Structure 1
Amino acid sequence: MSVGIVMLVHTALGRAAQVARHWTAAGCPVVIHCDAKVSARAYRAFRKELSDETEIRFSPRFRCDWGTWGIVQATQGASEKMLHDFPEVRHVYLASGSCLPLRPVRELQDYLAARPQTDFIESATTADVPWTVGGLDAERFTLRFPFSWKRQRRLFDRYVALQRRLGFRRRIPKGLVPHMGSQWWCLTRRTLSAILEDPDRRLHDRYFRRVWIPDESYFQTLARRYSTDIESRSLTLSKFDFQGKPHIFYDDHLQLLRRSDCFVARKIWPQANRLYRVFLTDAEGGKRTEPNPGKIDRIFSKAVERRTRGRPGLYMQSRFPHGGWENGLTSSKYTVFQGFAELFEDFEMWLARTSGVRVHGHVFGPGDAEFAGRQPVINGALSARAAIRDANPGAYLTNMIWNTRGERQCFQYGPADNQGIVPLLTADSNAQVAVISGAWAVPLFRSNLNFGEIRAEAARLQKVESEFLEALRSPHAKARFRIWTMAEFVESPMEPLQTAVDEMETRSARRLTEAPKMADLSGFGQFLQTLKNQGMHPYLMGDFPALDDPAGGARPGKTRKPYLVQK
């Protein structure tokens, strides 16, 4: 009899009884502490179920709230009973009711028998490790924590804030250097007896009673005072997520747990029938390997990354409420053209033919979304209905890019469209935006509206586009963009068209041999001059001479460069 098991039980009493019998069947005495919060009726039934086991004892019950002194009291009481009732025990292994042996108990006994003076307890100073979650590392030893963090959160937070404001600091008992580590340890009889029989134990207990989460620091600190050989690690496999909550193991973790080579694991889901059935079959495996939880650390690291970062452009329950957790606002690159469809009559068809990508119309226009081919529904059952789109324009764009990943998407945009996507668009590093500023005036120029209506609409559209351009040029914007004034674009359209197509990075990228058909701009300069004369200054188009025809005519004494290129 070399190993005794102290079990702290508060739930799933049937599973705890099953594991306790497994320990005693291998010759390990067990002392069980059952949380005082468990009803008297359930506790009596639990004791009755194990009454036939002579190697099982029950220790005095204490209320065990997370992060409070009760857990240490429970451990002390059960450990004292273990040392008193089983003098042959040389190592005491602390486990919970949700712990499950992963290897034959004989292997644990042999392992500890070969290391009779070694204490296995994770123990490190707060300055050495970044384990703590929630901002309380060194402060847990210098402030007082009389309130339960789970049951009295408001009092807990206010009392901490008050102590910080007053500059209160507790005095650490002489000779103690606070250490922290996993609650689940395996100590030698010599070290555990020294801690429990210390003449200064009353002083130590009074100090740690008001430390936050003392079960992770009481034995970890005092073991440093008495142990002659500490291995700062736990023999129990316990993994925690980024919020400090323990991972729960289910049936589908069977192979993962086997690869760890650890002696014990927690927390096991009480309904994981397969795990209990497999691991509680105590066959002599003959395994002599060191426990190595590092074998599965990579898997847990990936799980944490997937939980916190997810996949770019896919909004998950674990990330959606948290700003800054997006890991990329959208899943892949896409291109937005503003002003091109207004300046060129067949731009969508030309671009699709030239680049081979899917080219949409005004997806966020005043009416329904203009998907390529004017389909009412596209990938992922994304509807073109305006009511659905406008309920959350940013999410709509994100869904469109996610649903069509693997295929580059392009769509038209303009100041008359829904501006709800601008914050996402400008902040998205996947967005490539090409703008011909002022091109929104072409449809107005060709409309049959009276000039008063045209003037008012032109002023509104120019204001909207000006704000959009300002957002694109913001130092905080991450979208890539190109901006040409309409005047400079019309003067020589082939070069900016080639630039816009090249930046789409399509496999079929090549030198352009043709351009889309430009709208007839005869009289456009005079149209702009009339707007000026009416008191509206159209400055985003660039410098259009009032009597010049930039599309088809030429200035006196100057021949206009052609923009059609023949092979």
Structure 2
Amino acid sequence: MTGPVRLGVVFLCHNELDVAASMVRVWHDGGAAVAIHVDSRANEVNYQTMRQSLADLTDIVWVDRRRCEWGMFSMVGATQAAATALLDRFEDVTHVLVASGSCLPLRPVAELCDYLRRHPRVDFIESVSAQDVGWTMGGPNIERFERYFPVSWRKRRRLFDWLVEMQRKLRIRRTMPRGLVPHLGSQWWCLTRQTLDAILHDQRRSEFDRFFRYCWIPDESYFQTLARRHSTRIESRSLTLSKFDFQGRPYTFYGDHADMLSLSRCFVARKIWPGARELLSRFPEDLGAEGQRDEPDPGRIDRLIAATVARRTLGRPGLYMQSRFPLKDRENGKTAGPYALLQGFTDLFPDFEAWLQARVDADVHGHLFARESVEFAGRPRIGPGAISTHPESRDYDPYGFLTSLIRITDRMQVFQYGPRDLQALNWFMVTDPNATIRVITGAWVVPLMHSDMPFDDVRHIAARLQRTELSQLKVLRSVWVKADVEIWELSDFVARPAATLQRVVRDLTPGTWPLYDQYPQLRDLDQLGRFLQRLRNAGLQPRLMGDFPATRSEQEWNV
């Protein structure tokens, strides 16, 4: 234990000066001395109003105003000026904390002072090596020390980028001042008087200031680097809860975050929405003797924010939003749940849909991607979730059509497919781990055989369907397949239809179907061998059906 602790606050603000004034009063009433710097860009009337509202306070000092630009050395200059004024005016200040007008004390100032008293000679400043750790979220890391950054990134971004690129091409590289190792961290630190005084009165300060003046975002590196030069004990963490999203922007806390902030037991939170009256009236919160010595526990908020980041960057599986449309192959799951595509079954079994619906716990649809119509189960005029049955609407966004259908229900979606259907989703489905794909190749020839169309028309249609299915099979057999795919030639399927159907049903609804069951009525295939031979004789080589000898059917054909 050491002697008494007096907290000094370097208070930086540039807008919402009425809220900032109330924060100054909270710090002052808690016993802290406050040095206030208001950005010179702030409205003069609002500034004078703020000064008048705080005129009754004694332990505050107003710092000469200067214009501060984000990412420029002016932020460091304002902090230096306020810290110097604070140490010169208040000799009893033992620790200095940096806060902004949007920083809200969550616990009484006395608890923070007690915490500092229990950690004597400790400097609480996030300070990580720029060479060893990628601390930044976007933008340069070690390069921010090696190049010159004389212009504002926010105001003159094109010139900023051009200057950086030219320095890279010309291989312009600065070196760190002798004895300094670049470190990065949050600008919201709390240093002991000894360390801060040593930084401000360093004999080489002018050299260090010249170097950091042209670094990028020096308020995240100046004190973080120099603290390593002068501090005897650094605790590399901030006492201020300040969280950033994946783009490096600070999260804003609102009124409904009150309980979460209270559970964190952190001393200060940034950044608070100015309109969050619930937070401004509730905090700082005194939980009495039982909570006086609680350690800050930002882990709860870290976990919540991590889940929030994942939701924002990945989204929910299978959900495509206009505001967060995913990049190709970087979706958080192409679809929201399992589904199945069955190809060729309805060509062989006219009543296959009804037969399968009675045996699986799923919605069994017809050809959802038929070019003429959308065949939802039961053929309604409007599909599940008010999805349109008009093929024009479906074809405008086939991806959204399929993902919406799968997402709107907890039941598995099963639909029929074939080379006659729209082929736009072949790659999408075969690369989707949620997809189960079962294909009987060449089954489309059976309805053609039983059609009454002229044979010349049949031949042309058969050639087109075969080309389409051959292209589809290249996709189904590619090295990029992630779906559960199984393919049978027509002859192999016809040799054991019952056993194969059992496997299909079990794959769709595992463990719920008896071993033996009556399979649906199969179309007449007796003339198939002869029909395929007629296609060969007409110059078309059937390649997808397997072996169907023409001899027996040739005899029957001549009967």
Q: Report the TM-score, using the length of structure 2 for normalisation.
A: 0.94
Cα deviation for residue 303 of structure 1 reads 2.0
1:344 correspondence with 2:344: no
Paired residue for 1:565? none
Within 1, Cα distance between the matches of 2:163 and 2:469? 52
Paired residue for 2:520? 516
Cα deviation for residue 260 of structure 1 reads 1.0
SS in 2 for 1:359: strand
Paired residue for 2:470? 466
User: For structure 1, which segment, 148-157 or 167-176, has the greater mean C-alpha deviation from structure 2 after superposition?
Assistant: 148-157
Q: Which amino acid aligns with 2:444?
A: W
Cα deviation for residue 65 of structure 1 reads 2.6
Within 2, Cα distance between the matches of 1:401 and 1:162? 51
Within 1, Cα distance between the matches of 2:112 and 2:531? 90
1:17 correspondence with 2:21: yes
Aligned with 1:496 (options 489, 495, 500): 500
Superposed, 1:234-273 pairs within 5 Å as 234-273=238-277
1:179 correspondence with 2:183: yes
Contact 1:319 1:325 in 2 (8 A): no
Contact 1:145 1:212 in 2 (8 A): yes
Paired residue for 1:563? none
Aligned with 1:330 (options 335, 341, 359): 335
Which 4+ runs in 1 deviate beyond 6 A? none
1:225 correspondence with 2:229: yes
Paired residue for 2:437? 433
Paired residue for 1:60? 64
Within 2, Cα distance between the matches of 1:483 and 1:283? 67
1:357 correspondence with 2:362: yes
Aligned with 1:314 (options 307, 310, 319): 319
1:145 correspondence with 2:149: yes
Within 2, Cα distance between the matches of 1:400 and 1:342? 24
Paired residue for 1:34? 38
Gaps of 5+ in 2: none
SS in 2 for 1:265: strand
Aligned with 2:548 (options 544, 551, 567): 544
Within 1, Cα distance between the matches of 2:553 and 2:56? 104
Within 1, Cα distance between the matches of 2:184 and 2:261? 25
Within 2, Cα distance between the matches of 1:283 and 1:422? 60
SS in 2 for 1:377: coil
Within 1, Cα distance between the matches of 2:100 and 2:553? 85
SS in 2 for 1:501: helix
Q: CA RMSD in A?
A: 2.2
User: For structure 1, which segment, 440-449 or 116-125, has the greater mean C-alpha deviation from structure 2 after superposition?
Assistant: 440-449
Paired residue for 1:533? 537
How many residue pairs get matched? Answer: 552
SS in 1 for 2:202: coil
Aligned with 1:366 (options 348, 366, 371): 371
Q: Which amino acid aligns with 2:347?
A: E
Gaps of 5+ in 1: 555-567
1:380 correspondence with 2:404: no
Q: Which amino acid aligns with 1:413?
A: Y
User: For structure 1, which segment, 182-191 or 112-121, has the greater mean C-alpha deviation from structure 2 after superposition?
Assistant: 112-121
1:275-323, Cα deviation, whole Å (9 max, x unpaired): 1000046686661122221243222222222222332212345642433
Paired residue for 2:293? 288
1:50 correspondence with 2:35: no
Aligned with 1:413 (options 414, 417, 424): 417
Contact 2:506 2:512 in 1 (8 A): no
1:381-405, Cα deviation, whole Å (9 max, x unpaired): 2222222211111111111111122
1:228-259, Cα deviation, whole Å (9 max, x unpaired): 12111111111122222211111111111111
SS in 2 for 1:483: strand
Contact 2:97 2:189 in 1 (8 A): yes
1:297 correspondence with 2:306: no
Q: Report the TM-score, using the length of structure 1 for normalisation.
A: 0.93
Contact 2:429 2:435 in 1 (8 A): yes
User: For structure 1, which segment, 347-356 or 441-450, has the greater mean C-alpha deviation from structure 2 after superposition?
Assistant: 441-450
SS in 1 for 2:129: coil
Within 2, Cα distance between the matches of 1:65 and 1:449? 78
Within 1, Cα distance between the matches of 2:465 and 2:195? 79
Cα deviation for residue 226 of structure 1 reads 0.7
User: For structure 1, which segment, 502-511 or 114-123, has the greater mean C-alpha deviation from structure 2 after superposition?
Assistant: 502-511
SS in 2 for 1:72: helix
Q: Percent identity?
A: 50
Within 2, Cα distance between the matches of 1:409 and 1:103? 53
Within 2, Cα distance between the matches of 1:70 and 1:548? 94
Within 2, Cα distance between the matches of 1:39 and 1:536? 83
Within 1, Cα distance between the matches of 2:328 and 2:277? 39
Contact 2:530 2:553 in 1 (8 A): no
Within 1, Cα distance between the matches of 2:247 and 2:510? 42
Cα deviation for residue 198 of structure 1 reads 1.1
Over 3 Å counting, the alpha-carbon distance change for 1:544 and 1:235 in structure 2 is same
Contact 1:90 1:116 in 2 (8 A): no
Within 2, Cα distance between the matches of 1:114 and 1:441? 84
